Amino acid sequence: MPSAQRIEIVDVSARDGLQNEKNAASLTAQDKVYYIEKLMKSGLRRIEAGSFVKPAAVPAMANSAEVAQLLEPVQENHPEIIFSYLTPNQKGLLRAKEIGAKEVAIFLAVSEQFSKANINQSVDASFAAIMPVITEATDCGIRVRGYLSTVFGYDDMPFNPQAVAMRSKQLLDMGCYEVSLGDTTGIGTPEKVEELVAALKKQAVPLDKVAMHFHDTFGTAIGNVARSYELGIRTFDASTGGLGGCPYANSPKGNLAMEHLVEWCAREGIGCDVTNASSLAEAAAYMRQKLGK
């Protein structure tokens, strides 16, 4: 039933969820596709299926091209699904083009320390280097999502909402259709969300082009979602079973659990894509068993 109050969910289970799991590098492409199909069955429509990053940097994502190839017939039968792939550079984009990606996600940060650890570039250098990647992707009809990490601060920098708003605007101006603000280490709080949204508004960043990407290190993720929603944000990233974290962050912890987000929606009377909770539970149980958790 259509709901006036509704959120969009970006499922990051098969990418952020798996990239830092110690046994995930042994998952076959078939395992991942089985998992992704269960996620699709739950109703999810926007699904990150892998990363075209340097395989040695994130071994768990090394078979992403094989995953994408196996997803080709699935995509043909389900044109409504958007599969997305992380691409850090031209080489990543080339690999995404080879598998016919409809969407890619680039990923930058506000923290210099994190940027260097994650993508081996300073923040300014990474913004300059990604511009031709965005242009080439959009020229080819591939839409580009932009992640901005460490938005609530990091070891080397305190929370700086103005800097986050400025960088968010820059990503949209560069051609990203949406910017996803990453609480990479889960240090966000509802109060900080409030300051961040105020800064975004001041910088004239359209809130319908902003997604929130919470990690749940200190159990604040749902509180952060609720405050973001009250303030006008309508798109949230989540991972089934709360799996996830960036291997290059100082304290990677699980993403906002999809199950918590879906339960929150039900409690608040807010619609979302997930209509088949049992398929979601099957996906989570399958992956727990595969990862030996």
53/272 with CB nearer ligand HMG: 53
Q: Does residue 182 belong to the site contacting ligand HMG (CB under 6 A)?
A: yes
Binding status of residue 13 toward ligand HMG by CB under 6 A = no
Question: Closer to ligand HMG at the Cβ: 255 or 279?
Answer: 255
Sole residue written with tokens 């809130």: 207
11 binds Mg ion (CB under 5 A): no
Cβ closest to Mg ion, residue 175 vs residue 245: 245
Q: Which of 176, 246, 265, 272 is catalytic?
A: 246
d(CA 143, CA 140): 9
Name the 3-class secondary structure at 1: coil
d(CA 215, CA 257): 9
User: Is-contact 189 226, C-beta < 8 A?
Assistant: no
C-alpha 25/C-alpha 16 separation (Å) is 13
Q: Can residue 16 be called a binding residue for Mg ion (CB under 5 A)? A: yes
Please list every residue from 47 through 66 that binds ligand HMG, using CB under 6 A: 51-55, 57-58
Residue with tokens 């984009």: 93
CA 259, chain centre distance (Å): 16
Binding region for ligand HMG (CB under 6 A) out of 91-99, 153-161, 228-236, 281-289: 91-99
Active site residue 176: no
Residue 254 in the binding site for ligand HMG (CB under 6 A) = no
Number of other CB atoms surrounding residue 254 within 10 Å = 19
Which of 134, 187, 246, 284 contacts ligand HMG by CB under 6 A?
246
H/E run at residue 258: helix 258-268
CB atoms < 10 A from the CB of 122, how many? 13
Binding mask 262-291 for ligand HMG (x = CB under 6 A): ------------------------------
Burial class from Cβ neighbours inside 10 Å (0-12, 13-18, 19+) for residue 102 reads middle
Q: What is the rounded distance in angstroms from the CA atom of residue 95 to the CA atom of residue 75?
A: 18
Measured from the CB atom, the residue of 95 and 227 that comes closer to ligand HMG is 95
Q: Which is nearer to ligand HMG, 149 or 279 (CB)?
A: 149
CA atoms within 13 A on the CB side of 38: 19
Residue with the CB atom nearest ligand HMG in the bound state: 182
Binding residues for ligand HMG, rule CB under 6 A, total 27
Binding site for ligand HMG (CB under 6 A): 16, 19, 51-55, 57-58, 86, 88-89, 91-92, 95, 107, 118-120, 147, 149, 182, 184, 213, 215, 246, 248
Active-site residue numbers?
A: 246
Binding site for Mg ion (CB under 5 A): 16
